[in-house]
Amino acid sequence: MHTQNDTICALASATGKGGVSVIRVSGAKARAYCQSLTDLTPEPRIALFSKFQTSTAELIDTGLTLFFKGPHSFTGEDVCEFHCHGSPVVVDQILTQLVNLGARLARPGEFSERAFLNNKIDLAQAEAIADLIDSSTVQAARHAVRSLQGDFSKLVYELVRQVIELRVYVEASIDFADEDIDFLSRGNILARLQTLVSTINTTLTQAQTGSLLREGLRVVIVGAPNVGKSTLLNALCGHEVAIVTPIAGTTRDMLQQIINIDGIAVHVTDTAGLRQSDDPIEAEGILRARKALAEADHVLLLFDANDRDVFRTLPVWQELSGLPLHRLSLVFNKIDLCHLKSAVYLDSVPQQLFLSAATRDGLELLKEYLKTCAGLVPGSDGGFMARRRHLAALTTARDSLMKAVHCLEYLNAGELVAEELRTAQQHLDEITGKFTTDDLLGAIFSSFCVGK
């Protein structure tokens, strides 16, 4: 159970030496502890020059004190902030004094958790705080701010509102099942369900882009031995990270590197060449390569450009042709050996790229293409930050709505439609925290930094 009886304290600014450090206190006794520490009675939202002192009136430091009266504060509780000089020794003395007065050191994310539990923010906004702190690019920061301002939450709330409207109508039709009126048809429920599925798909697409921006695009390079997978990895990284030799089967394990493409973290994995092998070490590498395919956001299937006309007859194509087309691209390497030009063919199925990893001709085309795979559209600055749990919830809700369409269109079973709508609403509510568990909250907030 989550308890909010304690008054908590923590360093809210970065650890280490600096010009100023900020210590935050939240809880019912925050004001009393402030009075004991500063010998002042703070007024809400007025910065006061203060002397921070021990219980024996020994001076610790001087600085500023701010008081926020609940519920008009970040956590919804009484909150005090002490701005002192950025010395770890000073910070430690002030925190020690607060603990001696009765405060408890805050757990990671406990201030944000209290803000959520006090309905100051929803769960998606709380997660956006951590995402904003962790953002490493301007674009990631902008997406996180939009989520923090509630852009993502508003979309989810609108989806929930539409689901509730449908639930009310469907469940009312069940109550009046004896009436000689087809309420489901008159309410145009089927069309509204289909529109809702389309809307949630659009939201899911936006969320996928936000998730990739936060967590990075996972790209796996696969192909037969000696088609240039390791050379391509080296070219993308800009330095030699993989051993390259003319001997087939040089790569026997997975090599993973993170590259930055205009603010997008791309996790590139080079794998062992796919083939049948009696070498137990190479065979294990091939097994790991096949496992990596299942976890990839996108797969670059490499071929020798000389095989471009016969690639569909090769064993590696026979093995991987069943991958979803939106996750698979064909890369024809070694164009320098057959006098071809670098190019990207977006109209082909699957989409095809021609390049030379050795000469790096076409490498920039590949990088731009990977940005497209991450869902980034040139000139577009909209979007919000999302996490994989949000994608899972949206996907499950979408699937429930599609089941509801089937139950209505082919079975005309109002009870089953109502149950699928209930399930869809429950999964959507998990995103904002309207329906959640203590275990989920613990997992989310424990990943936050202390002081937030």
Q: What is the pLDDT along the chain (452 residues), one digit of tens a residue?
A: 345 689 999 999 988 898 999 999 999 999 999 999 999 999 999 999 999 999 899 999 999 999 999 999 999 999 999 999 999 999 999 999 999 999 999 999 999 999 999 999 999 999 888 888 887 667 778 888 888 888 999 999 999 999 998 888 888 777 665 555 455 555 588 888 999 999 999 998 888 777 777 777 889 888 888 888 888 888 888 866 655 545 444 444 568 888 888 767 788 888 766 655 556 665 666 667 777 777 788 899 999 999 988 888 888 888 787 788 888 899 999 999 998 999 999 888 889 999 999 999 999 999 989 888 876 655 455 578 888 889 999 999 999 999 999 988 888 788 898 899 999 999 999 999 887 667 767 777 887 888 87
Q: CATH number for the domain including 46?
A: 3.30.1360.120
- Is residue 293 in some structural domain? yes
Task: Answer yes or no: pTM beyond 0.85.
Answer: no
Q: Say yes or no: 66 and 102 in one domain.
A: yes
Shared domain check, 324 and 224: yes
**CB-side neighbour CA atoms (13 Å) of 270:** 26
Residues 367 and 395 in one domain: no
In a domain, 126, yes or no: no
Overall number of domains in the chain: 3
pLDDT of residue 30: 95
> 262: alpha, beta or left, given left = phi > 0 and alpha = psi -120 to 50?
left
Q: 284 and 394: one domain? A: no
Q: Is residue 442 part of a domain?
A: no
402 lies in a domain? yes
Query: Rounded to the nearest 5 degrees, what angle is found at the Cα of 42, between the Cα atoms of 13 and 96?
Result: 45
Query: Within this chain, do residues 310 and 391 fall inside the same structural domain, yes or no?
Result: no
State residue 252's pLDDT score. 45
Q: What is the pLDDT of residue 286?
A: 66
For residue 380, is it within any domain? no
CATH number at residue 178: 1.20.120.430
In a domain? residue 243: yes
Among 66, 96, 121, identify where a domain stops: 121
The C-alpha atoms of residue 212 and residue 196 are separated, in whole angstroms, by 24
3-class secondary-structure state, position 25: strand
Mapping DSSP to helix (H, G, I), strand (E, B) and coil, where does residue 413 land?
coil
Token representation of residue 289: 């390569």
Q: Report pLDDT for 2.
A: 44
Tell whether 243 and 282 lie within a shared domain: yes
Shared-domain flag, residues 103 and 226:
no
* Token representation of residue 148: 């923090």
> Does 1 map to a domain?
no
- Looking at the fold, whether 169 and 241 belong to one and the same domain comes out as no
| Cα–Cα distance measured from residue 245 to residue 228, given in angstroms and rounded to the nearest whole number | 10
Q: Are residues 316 and 413 in the same domain?
A: no
Q: Are 83 and 185 contained in the same domain? A: no
Kindly state whether residues 183 and 257 are assigned to the same domain.
no
94 and 23 belong to one structural domain: yes
Long-range CB contact pairs, 63-69, < 8 A, 24+: 63/20, 65/34, 65/38, 65/40, 66/42, 67/30, 67/31, 67/34, 67/42, 67/43, 68/44, 69/44
CATH number of 354's domain: 3.40.50.300
CA-based nearest residue to 366, from 295, 300, 296, 269: 300
pLDDT of residue 428: 94
Q: Which residues have C-beta within 8 Å of that of residue 248, sequence separation ≥ 6?
A: 225, 226, 273
Question: Residue 444 falls within a domain, yes or no?
Answer: no
Domain region containing 86: 8-121
Closest C-alpha to 314, from 323, 324, 304 = 304
